[in-house]
Amino acid sequence: MSSAAESLDFQLDSPEVKNNPYPVLRRLREEDPVHYVEQMDCWLVSRYKDIYDLYTDPRLTGDRRKWEYYQQPAAGSFFRWVDDHGLMALDKKTHTMQRRLIGSGLTPSGVRSIEQKIRDVVDHFAKPLHGRTGVVDIMKEYTTPIPIVVVGSITGVTAPGVDDTQFSELAQAVIRGFFGMVSPEVLARSERNYVQLSQWVKDTIRARREKPEDDLISYLIAAKDGDFFLDDEGIVAQVSSMLAAGTETTSSGGVTCLITLLDHPEALERVRADRSLIPQTVNEVLRYGFGGIGGSQRFALEDFEYQGRKIRKGQLVILSSAGASHDPEVYADPDVFDIDRNPQGILTFGLGPHYCLGANLARAELGNIVDAALDFLPRGARVLHDQIETEALGMFDRKVNCPIDFGDGS
């Protein structure tokens, strides 16, 4: 290791790195692309080619039970079920069948078939924002409730007596337990919220057994792949995970899209004038603005050497999606937001057999969120960055609000 690499000294969870990981990632790519992080006894990979290769390297697994520091969650808990029966824990054959069952409606054609339903939901939450003035929390009033209504409509799950924002916030709290190195308090809150969320899923399963409808739960109750099927426990866990993950990522993603465009007004006005640019703009936001210094977690199944580094069996290997997305070997001028780039091969949703099942749905939602927002965001609207509040989640900070000044209407 070079002396320059040895001088790299940073904390993965420091505010400076979380707020702006790109200078550190740039140095890592140039000086030490497979970097040992003593703080966590793990490896941080920051170069696109290495991340691409390691996503499908058979010497690594996403099964966190293989981590040398793994601590088994309590019996009967949501996290125990996920560890023992979730997609990362399954053998290849079962994993393939389960993904086929769950993801059948989330293919590009499947998402196109529900595009109007997505747009109707987005328009419902966009309508009250037309003509607004003053400061608007775009996250609370717009991007937070949309995903839970969309995913709830697809799955069939509703939350009786709970409004859309509360339903979304509860679902988001579940997925926060999966962020890297979170506190025991976050894990406990995640587990408590899962109990409530799973009860709504169980209630929906009972109702659909009596009267099937056109939704995912009705499909999963009847679906088989050969002799393989999901029992009620599996349906509850997988649908609850879908509600949680789909809500958190798209809510945050919608905010990221709007912040990025508002911070680049020339690009925003181009897209406002030509809506055909929206898909490639969303692609560029996914590349430019998503991910902190961390990323997907993989665990070594054996001792092996990679790029001159000796990786130990059981060690954690972190694949930095932001590192890959800002690699100048793949994307010219990577720190520039360029809606004409239409980047290909971005790794924001992962790669290989564990590529995100909801990627097509997320893109469709983000595109519609941007499209509808262009009709209510006044020219000159600006993000009040100094008023944005965040919640610390291990290596990440999650926004909890996003105030935008719509102006006075003049």
Tell whether the model's pLDDT for residue 224 goes beyond 60.
yes
Who wins on pLDDT, 402 or 170? 402
Instruction: Classify the C-alpha dihedral 352-356-361-362 as positive or negative.
Output: negative
- Closest among 114, 108, 129, 111 to 372, alpha carbons compared: 129
Does residue 410 form part of some domain? no
Q: Across residues 287-293, what is the average pLDDT?
A: 88
Does residue 140 form part of some domain? yes
Does residue 322 form part of some domain? yes
Task: Note the residue count of the chain.
Answer: 410
Does residue 106 form part of some domain? yes
Instruction: Classify the C-alpha dihedral 329-335-336-339 as positive or negative.
Output: positive
In this predicted model, what pLDDT tens digit does every residue of 132-141 receive, in sequence order? 999 999 999 9
CA distances for 256 relative to 108, 219, 287, angstroms: 23, 33, 11
In this predicted model, what pLDDT tens digit does every residue of 143-194 receive, in sequence order? 999 999 999 988 899 888 888 888 888 888 888 777 766 778 888 888 888 8
Q: How confident is the model at residue 360 (pLDDT cuts 50, 70, 90)?
A: very high
* pLDDT number for residue 233: 82
Who wins on pLDDT, 7 or 131? 131
* pLDDT number for residue 4: 42
Q: Across residues 320-328, what is the average pLDDT?
A: 95
The number of folded domains in the chain is: 1
- Give me the chain's average pLDDT, please: 88
In this predicted model, what pLDDT tens digit does every residue of 55-90 receive, in sequence order? 999 999 999 899 999 888 888 887 787 888 777 777
What's the rounded Cα separation, in Å, for the pair 347 and 1?
27
Does residue 51 form part of some domain? yes
* pLDDT number for residue 184: 81
* pLDDT number for residue 2: 42
Residue 196's CB is within 10 A of a number of other CB atoms, namely 16
Range of the domain at 79: 3-405
Tell whether the model's pLDDT for residue 273 goes beyond 90.
yes
Q: How confident is the model at residue 3 (pLDDT cuts 50, 70, 90)?
A: very low
Tell whether the model's pLDDT for residue 105 goes beyond 90.
no
Tell whether the model's pLDDT for residue 91 goes beyond 80.
no
Tell whether the model's pLDDT for residue 123 goes beyond 90.
yes
Kindly state the percentage of the chain with pLDDT values over 90.
53
Residue 223, domain CATH: 1.10.630.10
Tell whether the model's pLDDT for residue 402 goes beyond 50.
yes
The verdict on pTM exceeding 0.85 is yes
